[in-house]
Amino acid sequence: MTAPLLSVLDLSPVSGEATQAQAVRDTLEVAKAAERLGYNRFWMAEHHSMSTVSSASPEVLIAALTQVTTTIRLGSGGVMLPNYSPLKVAEVFMALEALAPGRIDLGVGRALGADARTGGALRSASSEVFPHYFALLNAWLLDASGTEPITRQHPAFDIHANPSGPSHPDLFLLTSSPDSAAFAGAAGVGMMFAEFIARADGGPAVAAYQRAFQPSAFRRAPWAGVATIAYAAETEEEARRDTAPLRASQLSGLYGDRRRFPTIEEAEAYLEERKDDPNLAGIAQRAIVGSAEQVRERLAQKALSTGANEVFVMSTGPTLKHRIRSLELIKG
């Protein structure tokens, strides 16, 4: 079976007794390792007010990574557009494109990446504004790159995203359903389906995207990615043990308790107490965990069954060392 094109999605997870600040620095090390190993892209997500991850500002990390990487594509998976001014997002990512021309991906989502109260603190708009915000973002990116200057008839006429440049970031829409995937296709941008959020297989969304795709100034042919949790260790047993904190955190989150489990032993004790919980089976099924050979085979099957052009592995593991070793084993 042919190996799929692989990329990395990172949420700056907080490992063990580390601080959230250390988790941010760890992400830089994971990205440098991903480039060394030959992964195609390294994307960072946006989540707010969560103790288990530190990925509130992907654009800041992208800026840092433009200075310590040279070949890997860097992007957001994604910027939650209702939280921001579309003009400001266009300006930030045109600045990133200026720092690393041809290497910047702008993935945007329609959710908030936060609960309702946190969204209020962010002064987020309703997700209903997304189509309007997305259209404005499109216009400002294309205008700033000189691809399609904004005309006098456009409501944003004579407002420009700076810095201008000879190129613009590649644009993607994060999706979690066939409907949002079809929106991405009709808009003529790339699409990334987050299986670990949707708790569903990406195949139907990829198919909906491909059916709806219309060529645009951003993309002449469809491109679909699927993101999934994947972790490899020397043996399947070791991999299962290493991912106990992740399973425990996911289970507790289902009950409104976003707990972090600093040690494997603490996580295993929590899971043992709840071993009859019916949610555990679904949590285990949504992650690809095992030996290097097992994980590589399942990722290849994932690409084949969904029709995705690229598979993103979400970097997991109890420590930074484990996360990097997992990426090494997966890449082979």
**Per-residue tokens: 240:** 């299962």
What angle do helix axes 178-187 and 203-212 make, rounded to 10 degrees?
A: 30
Of the CATH numbers 3.20.20.210, 2.40.128.20, 3.40.50.2300, 3.20.20.30, which one belongs to the domain with range 6-231+292-331?
A: 3.20.20.30
Please, which residues bridge with residue 194 across strands?
227
| Mean of pLDDT over the chain | 94
Place 150 in a pLDDT band, splitting at 50, 70 and 90.
very high
pLDDT score at 199: 82
pLDDT score at 153: 94
Q: Could you check whether the bond before residue 282 is cis, i.e. omega within 30 degrees of 0? A: no
φ, ψ at 228 (rounded to 5°): -145, 155
The mean per-residue pLDDT over the stretch 301-309 comes to 96
Alpha-carbon gap, residue 83 to 133, rounded angstroms? 10
81-126 pLDDT tens trace: 999 999 999 999 999 999 999 999 999 999 877 788 888 888 888 8
pLDDT score at 49: 85
pLDDT score at 113: 72
CA 221 to chain centre: 21
Which distant-in-sequence residues (6+ apart) come within 8 Å of 267 by Cβ? Answer: 244, 245, 247, 248, 249, 261
Alpha-carbon gap, residue 271 to 283, rounded angstroms? 12
Domain ranges of the chain: 6-231+292-331
Write out the E strands in 59-188.
73-80, 104-109, 170-175
Place 196 in a pLDDT band, splitting at 50, 70 and 90.
confident
Place 23 in a pLDDT band, splitting at 50, 70 and 90.
very high
Rg of the chain over all Cα atoms, to the nearest angstrom: 20
203-260 pLDDT tens trace: 999 999 999 999 999 999 999 999 999 999 999 999 999 999 999 999 998 888 878 8
The mean per-residue pLDDT over the stretch 273-292 comes to 93
The mean per-residue pLDDT over the stretch 67-79 comes to 96
**Per-residue tokens: 79:** 């910027």
pLDDT score at 126: 86
Write out the E strands in 51-202.
73-80, 104-109, 170-175, 190-194
pLDDT score at 1: 67
pLDDT score at 302: 96
Structure pTM?
0.95
